[in-house]
Amino acid sequence: MNKEVQKPWGSYRIINIGKNHLVKEIIVKSGQKLSLQSHNHRSEHWIVVQGVAKVTAIEKEILLRENENIFIPKKSKHRLENNNNEDLIIIEIQYGSDLREDDIIRYDDIYDRI
């Protein structure tokens, strides 16, 4: 379960899996960002544990610092971005009936993933 998964923007590892939830530690490298995306089957709750996150969610952009959080409803477009010099570390709690990694609809992606 604690296997680190490499991504173009950094990495993540699954910390806990339950019946309707999944908890990840996400590391976003300096200058990187995830795709603008949404999920049909899950909501997400992000908590910043290190760094400053630029979050696009619920049709606005905000900065979250350590110990700040945001709830992202399912089907809501969102993006996580690190514009700082240190790694950004987020705890993500996913909640829903289908927590597969392929429940991603991408709208914009600097790494040209579909």
In a domain, 114, yes or no: no
pTM over 0.85: yes
Which tokens hold the place of 71?
């709830």
pLDDT digits (tens, 9 = 90+) for 26-71: 999 999 999 999 999 999 999 999 999 999 998 899 999 999 999 9
- Cα within 13 Å of Cα(4), Cβ side: 7
Whether the per-residue pLDDT at 12 is higher than 70: the answer is yes
pLDDT digits (tens, 9 = 90+) for 59-114: 899 999 999 999 999 999 999 999 999 999 999 999 999 999 999 999 999 988 86
In a domain, 24, yes or no: yes
The domain that holds 43 is classified in CATH as 2.60.120.10
In a domain, 36, yes or no: yes
Write out the residue range of the structural domain in which residue 60 sits: 4-108
Give the strand pairing for 78-81 and 53-57: antiparallel
In a domain, 79, yes or no: yes
Q: Are 67 and 44 in contact (CB under 8 A)?
A: no
In angstroms, rounded to a whole number, what is the distance separating the alpha carbons of residues 45 and 96?
12
In a domain, 102, yes or no: yes
In a domain, 80, yes or no: yes
Torsion angles phi and psi, residue 40, rounded to 5: -80, -25
Structural domain count of the chain: 1
